[in-house]
Amino acid sequence: MQVRAEINELIFQLEAANPTPNPTDDLNKMNGNWRLVYTNNTQLLAVMAMERLPGVVIGEITQKIDTIGGRVENNVQVQAPFSKTTFGTSAQYEIRSPKRMMVKYEKGTIQTPELLFNIDLPDQIDVLGQKVDLAPLSPILTPLEGVLTEAIKAGNGLINRLPKTTDVQIKSDSAQSWLITTYLDEDTRIARGDAGAVFVFSKEYAMDNTEVTYGSVLESVDDDTVNTTVEDSMDQVVVVDDDDKSEGSTTASA
């Protein structure tokens, strides 16, 4: 709870120093791919908590804003044993004020899973809080690697014949939310949504290879000199700790 309070204090400081008072009027800054680096949204925290399942890894959570087409796309990368996929939503947005946009979700998307060739077992896995040693299985599975590799190749051949994505139409009139952008510069965006949700995004660029992992901590900023660039105001990426991942769920706005 103390860490969350410190993060919220820093977010308030950044919002008070917002260099873009009318974010929705600055479409060049809003446009592009944004990577989620912190949220208190409980539905997304529930997604992140899936990492507690053996072999499951939650990758990047991203939001793409297309200011020309007036669209927002959200994506979550998920990797399970021998496969990976991406889940997403696609929405239309309308600007309602210099800071607020209304988002209406139109469809969900599921990327056809890709089978992975990496069949290396970890030394141990965590099952319901208990460490399970997998080392004794290594001599048994090693002779089967060639067979598994060929099976994965065959599986990918069949999967490649399927559509790249499966769309699920969202027709409910209640499938909408709002986002208020409270901070925006060239690299960082802070938005607030339904039920007190806060989202901190870092802009992705073509040459940006920075890896985000859920476990970094936001360092504090000097109260007297709150700057408006990522380098000066955010020493590390903001992410969610394990305690936060275990909370309940609400409607997601990101």
Same domain, 90 and 37: yes
What CATH number did the domain enclosing 16 receive? 2.40.128.280
Give residue-wise pLDDT tens across range 129-163: 667 666 665 565 555 555 555 565 566 566 566 67
The per-residue b/e assignment along 224-250, b for 16 or more CB within 10 angstroms, e otherwise, is eebebeeeebbeebbbbeeebbeeeeb
Paired with 78 in beta bridges are 58, 85
12-26, 77-91, 126-140, 192-206: which has the minimum mean pLDDT? 126-140
Q: Calculate the CA 68 to chain-centre distance.
A: 23
Give residue-wise pLDDT tens across range 186-221: 999 999 998 889 999 999 985 444 444 333 333 333
pLDDT at position 241 is: 45
| Paired tokens of 116 | 């992975």
Residue 251: inside a domain, yes or no? Answer: no
Backbone φ and ψ of 138, nearest 5°:
-60, -50
Same domain, 37 and 80: yes
The CA-based dihedral angle spanning residues 9, 14, 17, 18, taken in that order and rounded to the nearest 10 degrees: -140
Residue 78: inside a domain, yes or no? Answer: yes
CA atoms of 71 and 65, how far apart (whole Å): 6
CA atoms of 82 and 84, how far apart (whole Å): 7
Same domain, 143 and 153: yes
CA atoms of 121 and 119, how far apart (whole Å): 6
Quote the number of domains for the chain. Answer: 2
Structural domain for 136, as ranges: 121-162
Q: Pick the residue with more confidence: 181 or 79?
A: 181
